[in-house]
Amino acid sequence: MVLSIVNEAALPVWILWVFGSSLISLLVGLFYRLVSSPDEKTKRIVVFGSKASGKTTLWNQLMDKKVVTEYRTTNQEKIESFNVFANNRYVRVFATKDIGGGDMFVRYYNELISENGTFVYFLVDLTRLHETKQEIRSRLQVISKCIKDKKLLNCGFKIIATHFDEYDKNNHYLLEKTKKAKAEVISVLTDKKIINCSLKIDLDHIMVANLLNKYYIDIIKKEIAQE
């Protein structure tokens, strides 16, 4: 995806005069539009989310490390640079941090979203979606503010709704179950406008996953490797 930025100075004066603030708002919206998958301009990947949403599990799966199924609270751990192999190619993921899901760790968002080309995976627990919706919405505001205030370019964002295996256990039709889960995420998070948040919460920016299932991990790896 190529981000095209229009230079206001190059526009005819009469256009600026007629459209005024509406045109400027449109340009700002285009400027901060976030891609829904890592692309050739992505330089860094970060993983945020609620408590017990699977952040450490995702990092371990991407690094092909042993996954501990017993829940352990993460405070702050360094993620060394590593390679993701998919689509017959290696993609380097630069060093970052795996941070906890408690409110005290939100202050690290500003530190980790610090350069052009940052892609954010935000994990939410499908089984606790209604319980944590206000927390999620406020954190999306923080992510949006970090990107906008720093005027970062070529950034991206996707919500990964985890614990999909625990969601709607009586529904055995994968496609139907997936559509229902995505629709619920959109409905819960957009039932009212998230103030000062430019993140687009739509089907393109949401995926569902069971992070203990190789099928979903391979999808994320292929996405990172830019299939």
Q: What is the mean pLDDT of residues 22-42?
A: 66
- 197 or 6, greater pLDDT: 197
Whole-number Å distance between alpha carbons of 47 and 45: 7
The band of 92, judged by pLDDT with boundaries at 50, 70 and 90, is very high
Q: What is the pLDDT of residues 36-88, one digit of tens each?
A: 999 999 999 999 999 999 999 999 999 999 887 666 667 789 999 999 999 88
Residue type, position 127, single letter = T
Question: What is the structure's pLDDT at 71?
Answer: 66
Question: What is the structure's pLDDT at 227?
Answer: 59
Q: What is the pLDDT of residues 144-161, one digit of tens each?
A: 999 999 999 999 999 999
Helix or strand run (H / E) with residue 135: helix 129-149
Output the 3-class SS for 38-96.
CCCCCCEEEEEECCCCCHHHHHHHHCCCCCCCCCCCCCEEEECCEEEEECCEEEEECCE
Question: What is the structure's pLDDT at 10?
Answer: 44
Percentage of the chain exceeding pLDDT 70: 83
Residue type, position 156, single letter = G
Q: Is the per-residue pLDDT at 2 higher than 60?
A: no
All structural domains of the chain, each given as residue ranges with its CATH number in brackets, are 1-31 (no CATH), 34-224 (3.40.50.300)
